[in-house]
Structure 1
Amino acid sequence: MEPLFLKPVFHEKMWGGRKLERFNYDLPAGDIGECWAISGHPHGRSEVENGEFAGQYIDDLWKNHSELFGHPEGKVFPLLTKILDAEASLSVQVHPDNEYAWKHEHELGKTECWYIIDAEPGSYLIYGHNAKNKQELDQMIESGDWDDLLRKVPVKTGDFFYVPSGTVHALNKGIMALETQQSSDTTYRLYDYDRVEKSTGKKRELHIQQSEDTITVPHKDPKLDIQTQIDGKNKFTTFVQPPISPYFSVYRWEIKEPATLKHNIGKYTLISVIDGSGKISVDGKDYDLKKGVHLIVPATIKEWTVDGSLDIIASESGEK
């Protein structure tokens, strides 16, 4: 069995730019804000580029070859990996939980997290809010008291943020992040700086009622238990995993010498190479790894070796 190498899908955004070219992608024209790297979502389906499943899509494999994912119970491929280029600030937004999303949007909720690949000096996130209760939240939104409502958090390259559903948040100008999330494309815009779409000449739609319905009040920062293990010249970091994060675990692998790996808590592993080059070896066969490559190591592969000089963000589904 081979690892499944995937073809990225790109999305133009009013806040995007051209920095994704640093991953050697052949970007389409325009301001590209999102690389959907590993996805079974209908808004950006990942196509397999190699082996016996070449030309097939992840969502189809999920339905028709469930052995690749350990015969999961879920109806949809549960995770989505993106790289985001915030040339300008994203809207201030919130995502619903599973219950609200299934009821109103007919898809999964959206808990997500960010590994900060790059942040320009002085960069910050919107992360959480200062309202003490629901009444105060609604009043501050109605009056547009954004400076007092929104929490600004300084950010630097290498930081990690866990963003549960219900969290007010936004990536701001000058940040590039790898995002691991539930497979959902539901976003409720709370505030968008009164920007106007070039194509329509109108302000983008806001979702004030949905935002008020889904924002967690009061905001509480998640208590993460980030752990690092040194193994020879290699460094392995666990950013988040169940039970803190019920939907996924996320890791950083900093590889300098051969490392033999296996699935940790999940049945299959998602891999994104954010820097460097090297190889992954499965059953005596080598496959090249380089910056910007994304792949899934399926459940049918129990053990593999990674070698080279590589910086990798990996993830696993927390769902059974």
Structure 2
Amino acid sequence: MFYPLKFDHKYIEKVWGGRKFENYREDMPEGKIGESWDISAHESEMSVAVNGKLAGKTLKELAEMYPQQILGKDIEIEEFPLLLKFIDAQAQLSIQVHPDDKYAEKYQGESGKNEAWYVIDADEDAYLIIGTEDCTESEFKKAVQNDQINQYVHKVKVEKGDVFFIKAGLLHAIGAGIMLAEVQQSSDTTYRVYDYGRDRGLQLSKALEVIDFQLQSGKRKGLKVCGEDYDYSYYCLNNKFALDIINIKTEYEASGEEDRFYILTAVEGQGKIIWDEQELELSETESVLIPAYCEEYKIKGNLKLMKSYVPDLEKSKSQILSVVE
């Protein structure tokens, strides 16, 4: 009964958004579209299945109806824990920070927000803000209030294919000219620190409570395992989610693993996913959810997939060690 699930696109207009989704899709609405929530059970934007017998059901309904079959035996919560979105930043996003679980649950009533990015496209001079430069909290606050924040933020130049992990507490911002895929905890809590004079609310006092001024991050190097039909790379592994990249040269075969679900997102190239004499096109910026009890499937084509999931940390570490030992 369970098969690769595709969901509708939930487009969100943003002051910093653009029209770049038109390069990949044909269902884009009017306006400056900044985000597309593609796999989400969050109340803000709820994904609806569009293929097969389960079409018309929201992801939240599916997780409630079939918690073990959709989420997996090792996923102990009934709510879908991850959110997959795309971001088209044609202008600079606000400089911001996300809280951890403890702070978010206390003040927002939801989980915290760790996230990871895969850069789909980037202008030649595009950059991210990741972390602070050497400064104290008081120095940083004064710089924000005096419009001098640039002296205390760390800028990182980016290009297509880069991967970054943004831990809760890490100051960050996506720069203009960047399109990326983002996997994150299922949370919509963001504290804006600085917004370049745009007329939107700031949450500086809360942000200062959660910013870790010692926290730094950079481009992930990954660990690649080369194969004949595909290469497999490990990029992020933590207790909230993992992010791997599968570079398919010809074909990739797999099936659901009863322990957990997977999200497969095409971040480059195109192909198709095939199961039980059925198939779905997988072109750049398209995602499918692989339920835990999914039947066998294969993916054919020349494409790169971002694989997102909630890991068994010890099992994943053992798999990685088996490669390097």
Structure 1 unmatched ranges of 5 or more: 196-202
Once residues 123 and 193 of structure 1 are traced to their aligned partners in structure 2, the CA distance between those partners, rounded to angstroms, is 17
Please state how far the C-alpha of 1:311 moved relative to its aligned partner.
Answer: 2.1
Match of 1:311 in 2: 304
Once residues 9 and 204 of structure 2 are traced to their aligned partners in structure 1, the CA distance between those partners, rounded to angstroms, is 32
| AA of the residue aligned to 2:64 | K
SS of the equivalent of 2:7 reads: strand
1:48 counterpart = 2:49: yes
Match of 2:183 in 1: 180
1:166 counterpart = 2:162: no
CA contact (8 A) 1:249 1:316 kept: yes
Once residues 217 and 178 of structure 1 are traced to their aligned partners in structure 2, the CA distance between those partners, rounded to angstroms, is 26
User: How many residue pairs end up in the alignment?
Assistant: 310
1:221-241 deviations in Å (ceiling 9; x for gaps) = 279561111111422222111
Match of 2:316 in 1: none
| AA of the residue aligned to 2:130 | Y
SS of the equivalent of 2:79 reads: coil
Q: After the TM superposition, which residues 89-238 of structure 1 pair with which residues of structure 2 at under 5 Å, given as runs?
A: 89-195=92-198, 203-221=199-217, 226-238=222-234
SS of the equivalent of 2:42 reads: coil
Structure 1 residues 213, 229: CA separation in 2 closer, same or farther (over 3 Å shift)? same
1:55-92 deviations in Å (ceiling 9; x for gaps) = 00001111121122114322421111111000101000
Question: When the two structures are superposed, what TM-score results if normalisation uses the length of structure 2?
Answer: 0.89
Match of 2:265 in 1: 272
Please state how far the C-alpha of 1:285 moved relative to its aligned partner.
Answer: 3.9
Please state how far the C-alpha of 1:284 moved relative to its aligned partner.
Answer: 5.0
Higher alpha-carbon deviation: 94-103 or 71-80: 71-80
Please state how far the C-alpha of 1:102 moved relative to its aligned partner.
Answer: 0.6
| AA of the residue aligned to 1:158 | G
Match of 2:70 in 1: 68
CA contact (8 A) 2:235 2:245 kept: yes
Question: When the two structures are superposed, what TM-score results if normalisation uses the length of structure 1?
Answer: 0.90
Structure 1: 4+ residue segments shifted above 4 A = 222-225, 262-266
Structure 2 unmatched ranges of 5 or more: 314-325
RMSD: 2.1
1:85-119 deviations in Å (ceiling 9; x for gaps) = 00101000000001111111111110001100111
1:218-271 deviations in Å (ceiling 9; x for gaps) = 232279561111111422222111xxx221111222212122135689611101
Identity %: 34
Once residues 106 and 266 of structure 1 are traced to their aligned partners in structure 2, the CA distance between those partners, rounded to angstroms, is 28
CA contact (8 A) 1:37 1:81 kept: yes
Match of 1:287 in 2: 280
Higher alpha-carbon deviation: 224-233 or 131-140: 131-140
Structure 1 residues 171, 224: CA separation in 2 closer, same or farther (over 3 Å shift)? closer
Once residues 30 and 312 of structure 2 are traced to their aligned partners in structure 1, the CA distance between those partners, rounded to angstroms, is 37
Match of 1:200 in 2: none
Match of 1:78 in 2: 81
Once residues 173 and 257 of structure 2 are traced to their aligned partners in structure 1, the CA distance between those partners, rounded to angstroms, is 30
| AA of the residue aligned to 2:250 | E
SS of the equivalent of 1:83 reads: strand
1:114-149 deviations in Å (ceiling 9; x for gaps) = 100111011111110014443443444444431211
